[in-house]
Amino acid sequence: MFDFVSIDDYNSDTPYYFCGDTPPSFPTVISSSVAVVTFTSDAGHGGRGFKLVYRTQQKPLNDSHECGLAPSLPKRRHKRLIGGSPVTLGQWPWIVSLWEKNNFQCGATLLNSNWLLTAAHCIPKKINLAEWRAVLGDYLLTWEDDHEQSVRFSSVHIHPNYGQKAHFDNDIALLRLNITAQFQRTIRPVCLLHINTTRSMEQRLISRANCYVAGWGRTESKVLSEELRHMQLNILNLTTCNKTKAYNGGLTSSMLCAGYMKGERDSCQGDSGGPLMCQDETDKRWYQIGVVSFGKECAGKPTLC
């Protein structure tokens, strides 16, 4: 073995390797804000070692280009109940955890470098912004990783019609970050449907089975999940959901009904504020089509978004 230096780009699975006496003829460009430099020696000969010269450059933010890109999901369906299945780090890079002091409150979604989307019922009427924060790139609730970004809010915007009629109608809130989020492999925004999106694309998204919710909601053991989990849900006919005894006509046209009519799998307390997201079969990007709002018991009747 010889002496060498490896540079691991956090956004890539393939490190760069350098060895010998001849320096590289071109610069090595790292696309993320994190790089791991490792020097390895066989201790066979003495030498001056390697010299590293670097400079940083602010990467232009292009939210629309970055949005909705995530690693491929495993092909197996998720058969566990209520709590879903654990995900890998970076599987859903737009999922955010919301905290009041040191207490986890809800999930949220990164829309771009400045804004989060969550459920209005997650936010108290008289919120003290100094006590609230968001953890971008969160995976394990009780463990702080180097890839995470803890960010405060500069403002909170509740939907003006929230709570006026149906208790959970317009259950949406926007949170403005007090600093700009830095995108990397584990932190990037979800896509949103544009206001001019064709009806056919919207229907294509919600008619497919490839829709998921994700969060740290309660599992079969009735406690919050330590790790981020997800589950696949069906988008159900709103009229059909409205006819059930659980909702009895209380659902509005601004809501989506997702899950299974027989229960079995569902979002649960702790998943509130997180996204209902579907993958477009054409561009392979993930689009948020709803916010987890409420349901009738865990793994009971379908969830409303």
Q: 45 an active-site residue?
A: no
What was the pLDDT predicted at 60? 53
What tens digit of pLDDT does each residue of 200-243 get?
Answer: 666 777 666 678 999 987 554 456 788 999 988 888 888 888 87
Residue 138 has pLDDT above 90, yes or no: yes
Read off the pLDDT band of 84 (50, 70, 90): confident
What tens digit of pLDDT does each residue of 7-38 get?
Answer: 877 556 678 888 877 777 778 877 666 678 88
Q: 13 an active-site residue?
A: no
Q: Which fold has domain 63-304?
A: Thrombin, subunit H (2.40.10)
Residue 172 has pLDDT above 90, yes or no: yes
What tens digit of pLDDT does each residue of 114-128 get?
Answer: 999 999 999 998 999
Q: What is the CA radius of gyration of the chain?
A: 22
Q: Write the Ramachandran bin of 259: left for phi over 0, alpha for psi from -120 to 50, otherwise beta.
A: left
Q: Which of 169, 171, 266, 271 is catalytic?
A: 171
216 neighbors 141 (Cβ within 8 angstroms): yes
What tens digit of pLDDT does each residue of 33-75 get?
Answer: 667 888 888 777 777 777 888 887 765 545 556 799 887 765 5
Q: Round to whole Å and give the CA distance between 213 and 156.
A: 23
Instruction: Give which of 283, 66, 279, 289 is closest to 192, Cα–Cα.
Output: 289
Instruction: Tell me the residue type at 281.
Output: E
Q: Burial of 45 by CB count in 10 Å (0-12 exposed, 13-18 middle, 19+ buried)?
A: exposed
Read off the pLDDT band of 81 (50, 70, 90): very low
Q: Which of 97, 113, 267, 272 is catalytic?
A: 272
What tens digit of pLDDT does each residue of 250-301 get?
Answer: 787 888 887 776 655 444 444 789 999 999 888 889 999 999 986 544 444 5
Q: Round to whole Å and give the CA distance between 13 and 9.
A: 8
pLDDT mean over 76-81? 40
What was the pLDDT predicted at 259? 75
Instruction: Tell me the residue type at 285.
Output: R
Greater confidence, 143 or 156?
Answer: 156
Q: Which of 9, 32, 97, 121 is catalytic?
A: 121
**Domain regions of the chain by residue span:** 1-57, 63-304
What tens digit of pLDDT does each residue of 188-201 get?
Answer: 999 998 776 656 66
Q: 272 an active-site residue?
A: yes
Tell me the backbone φ, ψ of residue 240, rounded to 5 degrees: -65, -45
